[in-house]
A and B are shown apart, each in its own frame.
Chain A
């Protein structure tokens, strides 16, 4: 299955305007974290914040709805999220932790659960909210897009960053400036070129923008825990949903992109293996 194992696919968005004002898409990540915190399902979570407001993501432990909302929005650079998981369980002493993770971060986390070589950490993760991910960029690549390609004085001038409709968008002075995705090729990190998971197949719940209209998210519930948290948040009125087959472009586009990523990056993996360069050993 090109989208991994899932129970249900829906289009959804938060019903809270405080979240929708700042969220990247439907605010599903933030809504779920707030709900799980409120219900005591988790005591805190690891997210990617930008303390210096310079778009550089910094792994951050949050324990309140306000902190969750302050960290909303996508930063298109690497956030070594799992490094802060240690902080969450040690300094913060959290026993029930949520994690917002890209597919590669989820792989690290699931590996640490299956082979717990690090004591008393992985077992405390109670909710993995996965975000779809096609690729990620070094900060210097983002600088290039803003300055050399879009003519900004600085990346800092951008107030929103998004990828969609075939373009990389930077908003400045209320105006959206698009850069063809083609122009971003060759600027992603090299590790992404062998990544074959688009929709975060090992998360409890996965979400992203592709498949749903603007301001909405496509959600895949995967594990029992993930489905129960999501459904409870819907029931509590924090999230509204629409059946996936009633929205455009819907799952076909998501499947197409997921398959495209797998095919391309599996080919790269084979190419590297043939050259004799290291690729991960899969057990």
Chain B
């Protein structure tokens, strides 16, 4: 099963079935943050994954499930989902105060509403309980849509401030996208199971990211004399906010939802040469 998955998503072919325990250790020992103090009693057989739904639309969780071909393998053989409202019925909330379990990786979807005490609590708690935290989808990474929230609506007119999760806790891994694409989720999960930190490095370097906008390509690419007019940013844009003028991207800011995908995908922001060579054999 593992072999099939790895093949499907371009994992290393030469390696025998990985010892999951070791790999998870390796992943948890990443530069970012030490595993939680309370060590798990027994080494986990599979990575324990949690999913937290803050102010998001569930699109990112839907994306995870859109890996139809491999979903059952992932869920039964590769990972244990130990926490979450949508994928398993286990979460902490106001009256039903079950304790949050230890997680190797916690995927957090949505931004955090500062005026929602429970969301803030769940996020802070997740940080204590998780080896790695992934900002899962653009709302968690940059705020995306919720950047525009301003309160004044029933039934909680005071709910007005929505922040990317890295504003409150240290994030280890950012997977932007509105929603984050099924394929990249699958590739990231396989990389995590294999301890392939090389693959995850760009997402780790993006972890501190807390804003995104169509203007990023203007500020960080065109203005730096780097743009080649290749069009990848427009390919990445989910709202078709990115047009072109004189061979340069030009963002219609009334369409832009601030997901950050355009700059993330631009080959002049970062280029995964090693990985491309490995996947193409070139």
A residues apposed to B, CB below 8 Å: 4-5, 59, 77-86, 102, 104-105, 107-123, 136, 138-140, 189-195, 201-202, 222-223, 272, 277-283
- Residue numbers in A under 8 Å from B198 (CB-CB): 283
State which residues 93-152 of B face A: CB under 8 Å. none
Cα distance A191–B246 when bound, in Å?
14
Cα distance A95–B176 when bound, in Å?
25
Instruction: Decide if A80 touches B229 in the complex (CB within 8 Å).
Output: yes
State which residues 220-258 of B face A: CB under 8 Å. 220, 224-232, 234-236, 242, 244, 246-249
State which residues 178-199 of B face A: CB under 8 Å. 179-184, 187, 198
Name 6 A/B residue pairs within 8 A (Cβ), A-sorted. A79-B229, A80-B229, A112-B236, A190-B225, A223-B282, A272-B225
Instruction: Decide if A116 touches B187 in the complex (CB within 8 Å).
Output: yes
- Residue numbers in B under 8 Å from A190 (CB-CB): 225-227
Is B267 in contact with chain A by the CB < 8 A criterion?
Answer: yes
Instruction: Decide if A118 touches B261 in the complex (CB within 8 Å).
Output: yes
Taking A115-B265, A189-B228, A189-B247 as known contacts, 6 extra A-B pairs with beta carbons closer than 8 A to each other, sorted by chain A number, are: A78-B229, A104-B228, A113-B276, A116-B181, A119-B181, A190-B227
Q: Which chain B residue has the least Cβ–Cβ distance from A59?
A: B231
Instruction: Decide if A108 touches B226 in the complex (CB within 8 Å).
Output: no
Instruction: Decide if B235 touches A85 in the complex (CB within 8 Å).
Output: yes
Instruction: Decide if A83 touches B184 in the complex (CB within 8 Å).
Output: no
Cα distance A77–B244 when bound, in Å?
13
Q: Which of A80, A119, A193, A281 interacts with B234 by CB under 8 Å? A: A80
Instruction: Decide if B226 touches A278 in the complex (CB within 8 Å).
Output: yes
Instruction: Decide if A80 touches B272 in the complex (CB within 8 Å).
Output: no
Q: Closest CB of chain B to A200's CB: distance in Å?
A: 10
Q: Which of B184, B205, B265 interacts with A108 by CB under 8 Å? A: B265
Q: Which of B246, B261, B276 interacts with A139 by CB under 8 Å? A: B246
Cα distance A114–B201 when bound, in Å?
13
Q: Which of A82, A114, A140 interacts with B232 by CB under 8 Å? A: A82
Instruction: Decide if A108 touches B231 in the complex (CB within 8 Å).
Output: yes
3 A-B pairs with the lowest CB-CB distances in the bound complex, closest first: A80-B231, A78-B247, A78-B229
Q: Which of A115, A138, A189, A195 interacts with B272 by CB under 8 Å? A: A115
Majority secondary structure of chain B interface residues (helix, strand, loop or mixed) = mixed
Of the listed residues B235, B236, B265, B276, the one surrounded by the most CB atoms of chain A closer than 10 A to its CB is B235
Instruction: Decide if A114 touches B279 in the complex (CB within 8 Å).
Output: yes
Instruction: Decide if A5 touches B281 in the complex (CB within 8 Å).
Output: yes
Is B56 in contact with chain A by the CB < 8 A criterion?
Answer: no
- Residue numbers in A under 8 Å from B205 (CB-CB): 281
Cα distance A118–B187 when bound, in Å?
13
Known: A83-B242, A118-B235, A281-B205. A136 touches B269 (CB 8 A): no
Q: Closest CB of chain A to B53's CB: distance in Å?
A: 20
- Residue numbers in A under 8 Å from B229 (CB-CB): 78-80, 136, 189, 191
Q: Closest CB of chain A to B275's CB: distance in Å?
A: 5
Cα distance A107–B226 when bound, in Å?
14
Q: Closest CB of chain B to A193's CB: distance in Å?
A: 7
- Residue numbers in A under 8 Å from B232 (CB-CB): 82, 105, 108-109, 111-112
Q: Closest CB of chain A to B205's CB: distance in Å?
A: 7
Q: Which chain B residue has the least Cβ–Cβ distance from A222?
A: B282
Q: Closest CB of chain B to A132's CB: distance in Å?
A: 15
Instruction: Decide if A202 touches B272 in the complex (CB within 8 Å).
Output: no
Cα distance A5–B280 when bound, in Å?
10
Q: Which chain B residue has the least Cβ–Cβ distance from A223?
A: B280
State which residues 40-73 of B face A: CB under 8 Å. 63, 66
Of the listed residues A83, A119, A138, A139, the one surrounded by the most CB atoms of chain B closer than 10 A to its CB is A83
Q: Which of A102, A117, A277 interacts with B225 by CB under 8 Å? A: A277
- Residue numbers in B under 8 Å from A59 (CB-CB): 231
Contact digits for B196-209, partner A, Cβ 8 Å, 1 yes 0 no: 00100110010000
Q: Which chain B residue has the least Cβ–Cβ distance from A82?
A: B231
Instruction: Decide if A282 touches B270 in the complex (CB within 8 Å).
Output: yes
Q: Which of B181, B202, B280 interacts with A283 by CB under 8 Å? A: B202
Is B1 in contact with chain A by the CB < 8 A criterion?
Answer: no
Instruction: Decide if A283 touches B269 in the complex (CB within 8 Å).
Output: no
- Residue numbers in A under 8 Å from B63 (CB-CB): 119
Cα distance A192–B244 when bound, in Å?
18
- Residue numbers in A under 8 Å from B261 (CB-CB): 117-118
Instruction: Decide if A107 touches B230 in the complex (CB within 8 Å).
Output: yes
- Residue numbers in A under 8 Å from B184 (CB-CB): 115-117
Known: A5-B281, A115-B272, A189-B229. A107 touches B267 (CB 8 A): yes
- Residue numbers in B under 8 Å from A82 (CB-CB): 230-232, 234-235
Q: Closest CB of chain A to B70's CB: distance in Å?
A: 14
Q: Which of B177, B273, B276, B281 interacts with A117 by CB under 8 Å? A: B177
Known: A79-B229, A283-B272. A4 touches B267 (CB 8 A): no
